[in-house]
Amino acid sequence: MPEDSIDHIDFDKLNEKAVSQPLVSHIYTADPSAHYFDGKIYIYPSHDIESNIPFDDLGSHFAMEDYHVISVDRESGEATDHGVALHVKDVAWAEKQMWAPDAAHKNGKYYLYFPAKKSDGIFQIGVAVSDSPTGPFTPEPEAIKGSYTIDPAVFEDEDGSYYMYFGGIWGGQLQKYRNNVYNYNNELPKPNEPALLPIVAKMTDDLLEFSEEPKEIKILDENGELLLEGDNDRRFFEASWMHKYNGKYYFSYSTGDTHFICYAIGDNPYGPFTYGGRILEPVVGWTSHHSICQVEDKFYLFYHDSSLSKGVTHLRSVKMVELEHQADGHIKTISPYSL
């Protein structure tokens, strides 16, 4: 939701109309990556803090330092904060800005994937490992080779393969890359040119590295053409996620400066994906970031907004609501503040 509209919001009335309430309120949490491990929902969010850093388009005011893990009891709906799972001071290669993470599970081990800036100001993605879904997580000494930009999302396919999706423009630095190579002079395409695309790489068997060169995944319009940079209501900005439903692959993402969560549908993990519509309308706060988690026979959307902080865009709170796939395979759009 645009910043200039927040001054007119009655937050008491807004919260009365909200389709869900914050899962935790003692800390600020955002960018929720939710997974169903061993019969319980675990959420791996960012941990928002007040940094007193001036706002800018690069997101410098998002100065997160650590990660907490939140679990949700299926019966009571009660959420539990399991405390600090990983702190930036424990990551040898990272200096600051522990942004949106994700997690995966394999053979009794749990893997926390996270972006952070190195001392040169460039984002890379790291991984930390634990014997417990709640941590603490022990980071690998170096970032994942060949990783860059932000918002890792690791998808486990039915054949046991794992794929990482990542990327984000503006502060996420994706616009500085072409063919996986950084050049400070690179910028966004022109409005009439194809938009920058999210990135995918298959993981090694130990889930610690990429097993292949990262590659772009195509998001196409109804005519089979790449979405254009000027198509701000549909083009990729950040916040990759992947889930599977009825044999189809659903790649979902944020449009950033237009504040939508959208999705596109494909037939394999690499795409191409054809734009399908919106999952979530704009929330309070500038950013929108989500995950989709299957719990038995139901799907849930996890997202955040800034209603608890009364519109402070870098102090957000994680929420959840049931997600509906319609008979034709499309997803029913959710309005976050109307019942």
Name residue 176's amino acid: K
Tokens of 204: 């090694």
Q: Kindly tell me if the per-residue pLDDT of 2 is higher than 60.
A: no
Asked if residue 150 has pLDDT above 80, the reply is yes
Whether the predicted pLDDT of 8 surpasses 80: no
Q: How far apart are CA 286 and CA 252, in angstroms?
A: 18
What's the pLDDT tens digit per position in 29-81?
Answer: 999 999 999 999 999 999 999 988 888 888 889 999 999 999 998 878 899 99
> Residue 199 — pLDDT band, cuts 50, 70, 90?
very high
Q: Which residues does 181 contact at the CB level (< 8 Å), separation at least 6?
A: none
The predicted structure's pLDDT at residue 74: 81
Is residue 108 within 8 Å of 131, Cβ to Cβ? yes
Task: Name which of 16-25, 167-176, 201-210 the model is least confident about.
Answer: 16-25
11 Ramachandran zone, left/alpha/beta (phi>0; psi -120 to 50): alpha
Mean pLDDT, residues 117-137 taken together: 98
Mean pLDDT for the chain overall: 95
User: In this predicted structure, what is the pLDDT of residue 227?
Assistant: 98
Report pLDDT for 6: 54
Q: In which order are the strands placed within the sheet that holds 138-139?
A: 102-106, 109-117, 123-130, 138-139
Among the four given CATH numbers 1.10.10.60, 2.115.10.20, 1.10.340.30, 3.90.930.12, the one describing domain 11-323: 2.115.10.20
* Residues designated as active site: 31, 238
CA nearest neighbour of 98 among 42, 57, 139, 130: 139
Give residue 27's pLDDT.
Answer: 98
Mapped onto helix, strand or coil, the DSSP state of residue 26 is: coil
Predicted pLDDT of residue 56: 86
What pLDDT, on the 0 to 100 scale, is given for residue 3? 53
- Quote the pLDDT of residue 9: 75
On whether the CB atoms of residues 86 and 94 are closer than 8 A, the answer is no
pLDDT of res. 338: 76
Please check the confidence at residue 5 and state whether its pLDDT lies above 70. Answer: no
**In the predicted model, is pLDDT for residue 12 greater than 80?**
no
Find the mean pLDDT for residues 119-129.
98
Tell me the two tokens of residue 240. 């990759």
